[in-house]
Amino acid sequence: MGGMSNTKHTPGPWKAERTGAGHILRIYPPGDDEPPICGQFVNYSAVMNEANARLMALAPDHATVAAALATGTVRWELFTGDNIRGEICVGGLRYATHLDEWGVPVLSENTRTALAKAKGTA
């Protein structure tokens, strides 16, 4: 055992959208013509369904941040006196951002590009 998985997933950022009446939501990959990845959360309240859909839509970015932090590719630094806003430090540069509702730094396109370069995938 040991080692990191090489599991591939549909790259993010994903988006969650309401697609009809009731509590039906779908998760879509980037691109306007892509089919949904998954959807139809109908078993819970509308609030819980939307929270679940938002969390699932953020899965690629959360996985990227977790892997980058675990391997030391990036550092997260909170601004002094703030517990939501800070910077992701990668490749000698700092990218200002904030934490999402699950406490994970939000990635901008510039930050995604810097992370891909740091990993050697850009």
The mean-pLDDT minimum among 13-17, 58-62, 98-102 falls in 13-17
Neighbouring C-beta atoms of residue 79, cutoff 10 Å: 12
Domain presence at residue 2: no
Whether residues 70 and 112 fall in one domain: yes
Domain presence at residue 4: no
What contacts 34, CB < 8 A, 6 or more positions away? 28
- Give the tens place of pLDDT for each residue, 2-16: 444 555 666 677 777
What pLDDT score does 42 carry? 60
Query: Is residue 21 predicted with pLDDT exceeding 60?
Result: no
Region 21-39: mean pLDDT is 66
What pLDDT score does 120 carry? 82
CB under 8 A, 24+ apart: contacts of 35-39: 37/10
Query: Is residue 43 predicted with pLDDT exceeding 80?
Result: no
Q: Give the C-alpha separation, 58 to 85, whole Å.
A: 18
Q: How many domains does the chain contain in total?
A: 2
The mean-pLDDT minimum among 40-44, 53-57, 91-95, 118-122 falls in 40-44
Mean pLDDT (the chain) is 79
Higher pLDDT, 24 or 26: 26
Whether residues 112 and 79 fall in one domain: yes
Domain presence at residue 9: no
Q: Which of 17, 94, 107, 97 is nearest to 61 (CA)?
A: 107
